[in-house]
Structure 1
Amino acid sequence: MSKLVKLCMVLFVVTSFVSCSTDDDGGSDTSASLVGTWSVTSLDYEGTTSFDFLGETINTSFEGVGQNLDLDFTFTENPNEYTAEGSYDIVLDFTVNGMSETETTSVDNLQQVGTWERNGNILSIDGEIIDIDLDIPVGDTTGMSELTILELTETTLRLGQDVTEEVTEEGITVSITINSEIVFSRQ
């Protein structure tokens, strides 16, 4: 079961971010500046996977919730860079072919650096934001990840991402759907 959890987590890392649904609420303000230091106040995601191997299919659903959040992001301009520092826990509830389990993963001493670009309500970032040590190779994880700015005011930043991917490695085809949201408050 732990390899399955790790595969879910690696696919989560492939998407570069975390959390719930990115449904557009239509009226959210996104006009404030991204530059500054932001503390993560909420980190949630949910999704499904389907593993096809030698004609057998394994379906999973999962929901991850951030706890013990002590994670800060700082965005600077000229150059457009970000740093992420801190720690957090992810409580992952998942169901595999009808069997449910809960696992907690702790990330301590996270220190990441990358670049960012903003085009309207799309925030493109590079680098690894979530640092989880996994031993399962999955696809190409390089390049920019696009997140939707759902809300950006002087005090609140809310980012979301909906991802649907299919990856085939070593005869295993994995289809994944993740809906994620991360909420920050300005320090």
Structure 2
Amino acid sequence: MMKNLRLLFMATALLAFFSCSNDEEWNQPEEFMGTWNLEEMNYTAVSSVSAYGETSTTTTVGEGRDLDVIIEFQQNPNGYHTSGSYIIDMKVDYGGMDDVFDSDFFGIDREEMFPSEVSYRLEGFMQSGDWEIVGDNVIRVHAEGSEPSEAIIREITDRILIMDFDHITETNQGEMKTTNEIQGTYTFVR
């Protein structure tokens, strides 16, 4: 279950690397050309699964640590490349699962089956690809084999780049509907 939750989160997070909108105008791509180091990463994800009239909601708060990740933006052609690894620490609230299962669920400890705190070391940040400016402060990235995703550039100077993302995905498989809402921030420095 946790492996599937982790894979679902990572797939959604990779798709959600960028998404949102902002009123401030930004159209100076030369400001972010070059290499940036990931200094801070955090997000909140709310996942709901509905099936046969029942809905289960899980909230995950994630924070990156041991961030050894770089992203390099290039122009003409507009491309980006990422490399590195990091650890993501997640605190998970299973939305009432504590009440559903007692401490011995089919011989498995509830905390073992549904841990409330987990950490994963992840190699690679996201796939490399191309980028384009699509509006006020909005940058869209596209990696081969994935859907384009967008982010708001909240702040950019010669030393700091802060991007916010807000991404929603929905999938339907027969009687089961899954919705993931992820909001987060990446802070890069030079």
Where structure 1 has 5 or more consecutive residues not aligned to the other structure, the ranges are 129-140
Cα offset, 1:118, TM superposition: 1.7
Contact (CA 8 Å) 2:17, 2:150: kept in 1 or not? no
Where structure 2 has 5 or more consecutive residues not aligned to the other structure, the ranges are 99-114
Q: Alignment partner for residue 46 of structure 1, among 44, 47, 56?
A: 44
1:124-181 residue CA offsets vs partner (Å, 9 max, x unmatched): 10117xxxxxxxxxxxx73321111101111110111112232213532011211111
- In 1, the alpha carbon distance for the partners of 2:56 and 2:178 equals 9
More helix by share: 2
1:42-101 residue CA offsets vs partner (Å, 9 max, x unmatched): 011002111012222111111110110000011011011000011101111111123461
Other-structure match for 1:161: 165
Other-structure match for 2:185: 181
Contact (CA 8 Å) 1:29, 1:152: kept in 2 or not? no
- In 2, the alpha carbon distance for the partners of 1:115 and 1:144 equals 10
Cα offset, 1:183, TM superposition: 0.5
Q: Which moved more, 1:87-96 or 1:28-37?
A: 28-37
Q: 1:63-82, aligned counterparts within 5 Å?
A: 63-82=61-80
Other-structure match for 1:104: 119
Other-structure match for 1:137: none
Contact (CA 8 Å) 1:114, 1:125: kept in 2 or not? yes
Contact (CA 8 Å) 1:29, 1:153: kept in 2 or not? no
- In 1, the alpha carbon distance for the partners of 2:124 and 2:16 equals 21
CA root-mean-square deviation: 2.7
- In 2, the alpha carbon distance for the partners of 1:149 and 1:65 equals 20
Question: Which SS does the other structure have where 1:47 is aligned?
Answer: strand
Other-structure match for 2:131: 116
Letter in 1 for 2:5: L
- In 1, the alpha carbon distance for the partners of 2:89 and 2:21 equals 23
**Percent of matched pairs sharing the same residue:** 26
- In 2, the alpha carbon distance for the partners of 1:156 and 1:72 equals 13
Residue 87 of structure 2 is aligned to residue 89 of structure 1: yes
Q: Which moved more, 1:118-127 or 1:67-76?
A: 118-127
Other-structure match for 2:108: none
Other-structure match for 2:7: 6
- In 2, the alpha carbon distance for the partners of 1:5 and 1:110 equals 15
